[in-house]
Structure 1
């Protein structure tokens, strides 16, 4: 059993709802969707009417953050309410990675499941499967079911990495036992596409691979979501939809191709917007039929990535992360400040917005309060229910640890300040024209201003730490570290304390060239084994 405690009767009714009134919950977590990729957040080359409608009918957050600027760590934080650094998780996980969430660790899925919800996760998983190296011909357990999701239809890793198959409730869809999936060898059935790798890493499983059509993944995940929603009865349900849009390779269905003003990048966002519209419409219709309200949360796992297709979109005039500095994998704001919209008719004030600091790790405690429970002990999550409902003016969260792909860049947000303890953002660092373009080198082409950088290089006389006033300098153009030495000292102490809490376990996830892997520590993880 997970460590979940009921609230007292009086407090329960003061802040949450009764079991009969528990809302259906739909969480849509897009992949690599940048802060500037949605029209209600400023995009002009892309139109997102369905996502915009969520904001018009709900609450738009302008200072919301993923728990990491990297996919797998971000998903771990969202699921568990725990900083991924505590389990030494820094990068994306591969097809040979065991499940990184302990099966006795509370998650948003198990929390709601134990409260009587029917739970499902559909889409990208990317958190490891089984207890060792997964054999895709056998049940993929432990997996989503063992951490709180009664139904699952997943892309096991990522749409750019193998195996390119679907798995439903722990079994590869369409697998012929006479044609097993093998690591290495031939024949290879995965389709080769730009910005997609590992097409020869697995062989066999022809039928299972043929069912995975890159240009129909978004359609398929939408169809599976609608199918599951429409099966629900009068019990409350929780759908966690993890789209593969808009992670590379960019494979929008044919009807979305050529519909944006910034190429395949924008077209893929258009398909995402359609998915959101279809799923929200179906969920609200089912809720109305069953006499339940529907709470919808829309967000992204990290900021936009300046990959080759992203660079084409930039050249066309689109700004992936709006006015923010930085991209996916890095600790500058563009890597982890993400769209975050909450709609709950009659509860969340329609058409409202807030610039108070929130994090996706706060969903665990927020869901707990909504259903009348306390969050599990030993997590970093705090309830943002009052923030969702527009009840408070001051931020409930005072500070936040900001994580990137580099353990050198464990950073801190506190009030208006962002502190980074090392040069650069700690993410991708290749020059323009490379798949891993980002960081300091990218500024030579994007022409974004930063007082530490000249011609795509960190100045020799620039400070080795960074401090930005985001209230007055959202684009992080001026490093104020030398003007506030006492604040720098204080925030560095916060970084040092957190660094000592990294678990003494092998590092998890891929670290990009030039980034530092996390050190090994003797302190045990706060996550239960």
Structure 2
């Protein structure tokens, strides 16, 4: 029989440990880990639960089965840097001065005055890490470790921004043929695309590999994933945020030997199968650490498929067009979120949402303060937790492209397409073997589409709903006032300047002074 004092001490210990466990559980419900997986040029119909064919994505299918699929989820703009700027800040990209896709040595990048998603998490003491493609400026001042991330490993921009751009590879065959004709040396190197330096791999803010090779590109998905897994293992005992931004399936397509030749779809299918493997590795790491129930996992893409690349491009399914356009095939992307116990399993949300909404949603969940400056996203926590019943908090979303052209306004089930020129293949097939087909230009006229019943944007119903057209045109006018519209030669009153690259000499002086 246990002595009374020992029994008291034993019961006190049990109560104390139970209280600590309960407190930990309560804390984790308001400070969940977040893993955000962001693909590059992955189309709406490129994973199993969204209609993919020719390969399987069992890990992503499981993620969807255990979480929610958003089938009406959008990016702010269907191009790399613009899309990532919106994701990271909760702002329309043109509000913060980021347009299109920034190239090597770009003179602008994300401003130090903007608050990034990583900085949001740092408010609450989170560990923050990233691996993969950044694309918000390649000067040291623009890199992730200077914008809230504790660690970073990856490429500063797209993997095609290197001397052997896919469009240039066709020159190899021509050069070899010409060499034979003139009895010159065989095996001539492909011509380098003017303006693209060697592709660097960066760790922190230092170049650790100044010239990434094709063989090294084959390892990108694996290396990014290994970094994510190590980060999870290292930080499993405290709240963390990890941003896994895959370079794939942006062309040029590269895949490791683990998946090379595995799919019926060719190299594109192989690449997606390896991305699915990556998701599985992240999920296994969370399970091994015993924190899968304390972690929100989100999977989505920066824009739709780059259709001109044909067999090396993804699919937008029944949606119209793809990357580089404001049609649904360009801006609507797959979205999956899992948070066991909070997000209902095997659920679906058909309400519209956008990447700008993730920033304020995370702020709400972890209790972080929003920036003092204006952001555009709104909290969609209710849509995640009650996907069947919750409604989108936005009365409208805007879609810009090209040189700050307002091209569409979405409100509820409706989308008003404004007159503009867009690129298209015009029904012709895309290229083969990594070589792109030529786009042509087409003219979009003023048109209203019912996205709930016509996501493919096939039927203009503007004549049947003039009051909806008038309402959305009113929203468009408010966008021009706030964010501008180059087609109407308007400058917005609510835009902010991007970061400016420090002049090289001045930058050198600053570095010397720092030493």
The two structures have a TM-score, normalised by structure 1, of 0.75
Is the partner of 1:55 in helix, strand or coil? helix
Confirm whether residue 35 of structure 1 aligns to residue 30 of structure 2: no
CA deviation map 1:146-180 (0-9, x unaligned): 2111111120111111389xxxxxxxxxxxxxxxx
Partner of 1:523: 493
* Residues 88, 518 of structure 1: 8 Å contact kept: no
Partner of 1:155: 155
Confirm whether residue 464 of structure 1 aligns to residue 445 of structure 2: yes
Q: Which has the larger radius of gyration?
A: 2
**Whole-Å separation in 2 of the counterparts to 1:406 and 1:479:** 26
Is the partner of 1:162 in helix, strand or coil? coil
Confirm whether residue 405 of structure 1 aligns to residue 402 of structure 2: yes
Confirm whether residue 339 of structure 1 aligns to residue 340 of structure 2: no
Partner of 2:10: none
**Whole-Å separation in 1 of the counterparts to 2:54 and 2:195:** 32
* Residues 66, 74 of structure 1: 8 Å contact kept: yes
Partner of 1:97: 106
Greater per-residue helix proportion: 2
Partner of 2:286: 283
Out of 96, 113, 131, the residue aligned to residue 87 of structure 1 is 96
- 1:518–1:128 distance in 2 versus 1, CA, 3 Å: farther
Partner of 2:237: 234
Shift of 1:64: 0.6
**Whole-Å separation in 2 of the counterparts to 1:163 and 1:220:** 22
Shift of 1:491: 1.7
**Whole-Å separation in 1 of the counterparts to 2:56 and 2:440:** 30
* Residues 409, 417 of structure 2: 8 Å contact kept: yes
* Residues 69, 405 of structure 1: 8 Å contact kept: no
- Give 1:358-377 correspondences, 5 Å limit: 358-377=353-372
Shift of 1:46: 2.4
Is the partner of 1:307 in helix, strand or coil? helix
**Whole-Å separation in 2 of the counterparts to 1:240 and 1:155:** 13
Farther-moved stretch of structure 1 (95-104 vs 78-87): 95-104
- 1:80–1:163 distance in 2 versus 1, CA, 3 Å: farther
CA deviation map 1:41-64 (0-9, x unaligned): 011222111111100011111011
Out of 391, 407, 412, the residue aligned to residue 394 of structure 1 is 391
Unaligned runs of 5+ in 1: 1-15, 131-139, 165-191, 442-456, 505-515
* Residues 304, 320 of structure 1: 8 Å contact kept: yes
Farther-moved stretch of structure 1 (257-266 vs 427-436): 427-436
Shift of 1:73: 0.4
* Residues 408, 422 of structure 1: 8 Å contact kept: no
Farther-moved stretch of structure 1 (518-527 vs 325-334): 518-527
* Residues 331, 409 of structure 1: 8 Å contact kept: no
**Whole-Å separation in 1 of the counterparts to 2:436 and 2:476:** 27
* Residues 161, 198 of structure 1: 8 Å contact kept: no
Partner of 1:329: 324
Partner of 1:476: 457
**Whole-Å separation in 2 of the counterparts to 1:304 and 1:100:** 25
CA deviation map 1:322-374 (0-9, x unaligned): 11111001010010111111100111111111101111111111001111234
* Residues 72, 126 of structure 1: 8 Å contact kept: yes
**Whole-Å separation in 2 of the counterparts to 1:21 and 1:494:** 35
Confirm whether residue 208 of structure 1 aligns to residue 210 of structure 2: yes
Partner of 1:167: none
- CA RMSD, 1 decimal: 3.2
**Whole-Å separation in 2 of the counterparts to 1:272 and 1:193:** 29
Shift of 1:481: 2.7
Q: How many residues align?
A: 439
**Whole-Å separation in 2 of the counterparts to 1:251 and 1:326:** 24
- Give 1:58-69 correspondences, 5 Å limit: 58-69=67-78
* Residues 157, 163 of structure 1: 8 Å contact kept: no
* Residues 138, 157 of structure 2: 8 Å contact kept: no
**Whole-Å separation in 1 of the counterparts to 2:145 and 2:43:** 30
- 1:518–1:274 distance in 2 versus 1, CA, 3 Å: farther
Confirm whether residue 251 of structure 1 aligns to residue 279 of structure 2: no
Shift of 1:113: 1.0
* Residues 406, 518 of structure 1: 8 Å contact kept: no
**Whole-Å separation in 2 of the counterparts to 1:490 and 1:259:** 50
- 1:320–1:485 distance in 2 versus 1, CA, 3 Å: same
Is the partner of 1:501 in helix, strand or coil? helix
Confirm whether residue 297 of structure 1 aligns to residue 278 of structure 2: no
Is the partner of 1:119 in helix, strand or coil? strand
Is the partner of 1:281 in helix, strand or coil? helix
Shift of 1:206: 11
**Whole-Å separation in 1 of the counterparts to 2:261 and 2:488:** 43
Shift of 1:36: 0.4
**Whole-Å separation in 2 of the counterparts to 1:395 and 1:302:** 21
CA deviation map 1:226-266 (0-9, x unaligned): 22222225221100000011100011112312222221111
Confirm whether residue 312 of structure 1 aligns to residue 311 of structure 2: yes
- 1:496–1:333 distance in 2 versus 1, CA, 3 Å: same
Partner of 2:119: 110
